[in-house]
Chains A and B, each alone.
Chain A
Amino acid sequence: MATRNLSRREAIRLAMLGVAGTAIAACAPAPTPAPPPTKAPAPAAPAPTQAPAAAPKPAAAPTATPAPAPATPTPAPAKPTAAAKPATAPKIKIEYLGYVDDLHKEAWSVFEKANPNIELEKSVVVGGWLDILAKISSRLAAGNPPDLISVPTYGQYITWGRKGLLLQLDDYVKADKEFGTEAIPKKVLDGYRVDTKLYGIPKDYVAWGLFYNVDLFQKAGIKPPDDTWTWKDVVEKGAILKKEAGEKTVFSYLTPMGQGNAEGWLWQNGGPGFFDREKPNVDWQTPTINHPKNVEALQWLADTVLKYKLAPGPEALKTEASTPRMLTGRLSMWPGTTINTVELLKNEDKLNWMVTHLPLAYQGGPRATMTWTSGAAIVAKTKYKDECFAFLKSMSIGEGVVVLGRSGFSIPAGVKQVGAFLSDKMKRHGGQVFLDASQKYDIVQNDRLGPHHVQLLNTAITPNMEAIFLGRKAVADAVKEMQAGMEEIVRKPED
């Protein structure tokens, strides 16, 4: 057979054609994957606007699986959990995008074990909440959303709900026997409502208490704090407890400084905080930070750092965070949340600690606690609505969230699961106060600031709060600026 050497030009030409051909082939749409063969036909899940009458089968019925939905629902065997299928069936992959850590992975593994047909694909976002929300927004905007997402109760979550990007869950919750109406405290669940519609399910929440170092109180001959304490006691006893020693100074208090931390103190003083959330249907259009009771409370907080010098300031805390100060016996008392107990319980041998109620602003004043909460939501476009709802159940009123509770990290959202939080260890240290705070206090609210949450924090609130505690601005001036900045943001037309 006759052969001919290719010229360089011809070789390049052929190569270019080859590359062009490959590129065109690569641009062709991928074939649509066939639905998992085991997927039972099921009625489609309701659109967000669908009336309750069209409610889907509760997720407890394994047949209520998603998508290609002709024919009659097949009766299904009762199984460990809602979406569980025979282990031999090919796995369904559900992508979760949001907050990921080892403790949560452990909690999710409970769901995965109970649902061997479901593989939870965890997409990690490096960074904080802002990065997580940005990533979710981008994925939703790109039309390539995950199935499940972490959600707070504010900011973009509200927009996603209003735009119908999240699955409305009211019908699912109503139709589910286990959920019922009281499975999660109404106040906690209502935090996830957007214009009365439910788009997310809380997994947990935290509450605040006053931790103290028992040994330091004993050494100083001071009776430990209890539920009769007021802010005045903090200042008076704090002055005795503080031991000045340069870098080894034993501070007597740890002042909450950011909005998410400090707002509870404004409530304790009878102020409405940044918005009056106690009002029904708060519209997030009327900032209230310039209320005199708020100003008074902020002044007291600032004084604990700048005037009485009981607590380390923001610069000192940047240099050395609060946890090592606690664990090395250089903090006599510090307000904190359930999250603090994780480290403290691990270090029981190093530190003799207890927790009690937060001091009142004044005798007879309201008891208040900030509760941070986070949960999960289902993306409306997912093919696996029921499987996703089963996950939400596991992580709110199921075994998954029990793992979080048992660690002390947070209080499970489910009323029946709350008990997991109060382990013997936790009880011994006085951990009952967290449950009392979240269930019995006069004011129990979370830190949400409405749809402009992030912008309000970044531009109007955080810089002014920092200025207060750095002593760069008088409280009155900072509050004036916060009020003006917040009004500017919430009242301008949406852009």
Chain B
Amino acid sequence: MAATVRRKRFRWRDVEGYLFIAPHIVGFLAFMLLPIVSSMYLSLNAWDMMSPPRFIGLRNFQQLLYADRLFWQVLGNTVYYVVLSVPPSVVLPLLLAVLLNQQVRGVSIYRAALFMPVVTSALAVGLAWAWLYDGQFGLFNYVLSLVGIKGPSWLSDPDLAMPAVVAVGVWQGLGYNMVIYLAGLQGIGQHLYEAATIDGAGRLRQFMHITVPLLTPSTFFTLVMGVIGSFQSFGLIYIMTNGGPLNSTNVYVYYLWQTAFGSSRMGYAAAMAWILAVIIFIITAIQFRLARTWVHYQ
């Protein structure tokens, strides 16, 4: 049978489909793809924003990896930030979600209260916490003084500054991850708990053997997003410490911003951005690979 090729007739319905997704496609092209491609091009150039980019090949990358001492310190600080912030950002919201999944009075008020920091700007959060941390007038040191302890200078001690900032970041993100877990908890069938109760399992055992395994998709999500978000932390550092003292809180994106806008080295900053993108990509790929061994989908 001879194949007949029929020319597809123009149909409005098809156009409508494209029109519906057009805003997103335009947004994606203009605000995602174009900047991505531009930054890749810029990473191979020297560009101070004031004159046309000058192609220098891989020199930016070479300099970053082999000649920029601060780059490695900043990368180390960022890994430290990730290691400090991700575990509590995964575990604490889980515990809170389990607590707030109970049928108690005013539970929605608690949920809303815990979600409030998520919708509060980093500026407000950073300023408020900087006051709480204040060595002389801050609430924390006041409370410590009540029990006879002289509180430290939280944000000006190079050893304490990073943990102090991380604590604020974790606190701010609690509500978001808690909502993720709450949604996951609502999806776990009650019959599983009932069966476990009949089999004599206590609350802790039910939590460890039903709740935690069945929440692994949510845990995986919070873990992946937590790692990505922590690598990109900026706002709180900018507000609370400006990367100091002694560069102890100078993290990757803060240094990138300083390089781009403080020193007008856009090409160098673009190269930094691409190195960060590769790091995040590799870590995320590893997470997805390992997820097969511990994430259980019902």
Contact status of A165 and B262, CB under 8 A, knowing A470-B158, A495-B63: no
Query: With a CB–CB cut-off of 8 A, which chain A residues contact B243?
Result: 458
Tell me the minimal C-beta distance from B282 to chain A in angstroms.
26
CB nearest to A488 among chain B residues: B67
Give the interface segment out of B33-41, B97-105, B175-183, B244-252.
B244-252
A463 to B258, CA, bound (A): 14
CB nearest to B123 among chain A residues: A126
Contact B49 A138 (CB under 8 A): yes
Query: With a CB–CB cut-off of 8 A, which chain A residues contact B16?
Result: 9, 12-13, 16
CB nearest to B12 among chain A residues: A13
Interface residues of A in 299-339 (CB under 8 A from B): 314-316, 318-320
CB nearest to A130 among chain B residues: B262
Is A73 on the interface with B (CB-CB < 8 A)? Answer: no
A463 to B158, CA, bound (A): 11
Is B125 on the interface with A (CB-CB < 8 A)? Answer: no
Contact B262 A466 (CB under 8 A): no
Query: With a CB–CB cut-off of 8 A, which chain B residues contact A138?
Result: 49, 261
Is B136 on the interface with A (CB-CB < 8 A)? Answer: yes
A304 to B60, CA, bound (A): 42
A134 to B259, CA, bound (A): 11
Tell me the minimal C-beta distance from B73 to chain A in angstroms.
9
A493 to B153, CA, bound (A): 40
Interface residues of A in 112-170 (CB under 8 A from B): 130, 133-134, 137-138, 140-141, 156, 159-160, 163, 165
Contact B156 A314 (CB under 8 A): yes
A46 to B63, CA, bound (A): 41
Is A492 on the interface with B (CB-CB < 8 A)? Answer: yes
A165 to B50, CA, bound (A): 8
Interface residues of A in 448-468 (CB under 8 A from B): 452, 454-455, 458-459, 462-463, 466-467
Show the binding face of A for B, using Cβ within 8 Å: 9, 12-13, 16, 20, 130, 133-134, 137-138, 140-141, 156, 159-160, 163, 165, 247, 314-316, 318-320, 452, 454-455, 458-459, 462-463, 466-467, 470, 472, 485, 488, 492-495
Is B264 on the interface with A (CB-CB < 8 A)? Answer: yes
A316 to B67, CA, bound (A): 35
Contact A315 B153 (CB under 8 A): yes
Q: Can you give 25 contacting A-B residue pairs, CB < 8 Å? A: A9-B16, A16-B19, A16-B20, A137-B49, A137-B261, A137-B264, A140-B49, A156-B264, A159-B48, A160-B50, A314-B156, A315-B153, A316-B135, A319-B134, A320-B135, A320-B136, A454-B262, A458-B258, A459-B70, A463-B246, A463-B247, A466-B245, A466-B246, A495-B46, A495-B56
A193 to B265, CA, bound (A): 23
A393 to B263, CA, bound (A): 30
CB nearest to A460 among chain B residues: B70
Beyond contacts A140-B49, A459-B70, A472-B246: 11 other A-B pairs, Cβ-Cβ < 8 A, are A16-B19, A133-B261, A137-B49, A137-B50, A159-B264, A314-B245, A319-B156, A452-B263, A455-B265, A495-B56, A495-B268
Main secondary structure of the interface of A (DSSP, over half): helix
Query: With a CB–CB cut-off of 8 A, which chain A residues contact B268?
Result: 495
Contact B136 A247 (CB under 8 A): yes
Closest 7 CB pairs of A and B: A319-B135, A134-B261, A141-B49, A318-B156, A495-B46, A315-B153, A455-B263
Is B59 on the interface with A (CB-CB < 8 A)? Answer: yes
Contact B67 A492 (CB under 8 A): yes
Contact B46 A494 (CB under 8 A): yes
Query: With a CB–CB cut-off of 8 A, which chain B residues contact A314?
Result: 156, 245
A485 to B68, CA, bound (A): 9
Instruction: Give the number of residues in B that approach A within 8 Å (Cβ atoms).
Output: 38
A455 to B260, CA, bound (A): 10
Query: With a CB–CB cut-off of 8 A, which chain B residues contact A20?
Result: 19
Count A/B pairs, Cβ under 8 Å: 95
Contact A472 B158 (CB under 8 A): yes
The digit string for B221-262, where 1 denotes a CB below 8 A from any CB of A, is 000000000000000000000011111000000000011011
A392 to B264, CA, bound (A): 26
Interface residues of B in 41-87 (CB under 8 A from A): 46, 48-51, 56, 59-60, 63, 67, 69-70
Query: With a CB–CB cut-off of 8 A, which chain B residues contact A159?
Result: 48, 50, 264
Contact status of A318 and B262, CB under 8 A, knowing A459-B70, A466-B245, A470-B245: no
Contact B67 A318 (CB under 8 A): no
Contact status of A454 and B263, CB under 8 A, knowing A495-B59, A495-B268: yes
CB nearest to A160 among chain B residues: B50
Query: With a CB–CB cut-off of 8 A, which chain A residues contact B247?
Result: 463
Contact B50 A318 (CB under 8 A): no
A171 to B187, CA, bound (A): 76
Tell me the minimal C-beta distance from A202 to chain B in angstroms.
23
Contact A315 B157 (CB under 8 A): yes
Contact B59 A458 (CB under 8 A): no
Query: With a CB–CB cut-off of 8 A, which chain B residues contact A13?
Result: 12, 16
Query: With a CB–CB cut-off of 8 A, which chain B residues contact A141?
Result: 49-50
Query: With a CB–CB cut-off of 8 A, which chain A residues contact B262?
Result: 130, 133-134, 454-455, 458
Tell me the minimal C-beta distance from A129 to chain B in angstroms.
10
CB nearest to A456 among chain B residues: B263
CB nearest to A452 among chain B residues: B263
A20 to B246, CA, bound (A): 53
Query: With a CB–CB cut-off of 8 A, which chain B residues contact A467?
Result: 246
CB nearest to A454 among chain B residues: B262
Tell me the minimal C-beta distance from A466 to chain B in angstroms.
5
Contact B136 A319 (CB under 8 A): yes
Tell me the minimal C-beta distance from A309 to chain B in angstroms.
16
Is B162 on the interface with A (CB-CB < 8 A)? Answer: no
Is B215 on the interface with A (CB-CB < 8 A)? Answer: no
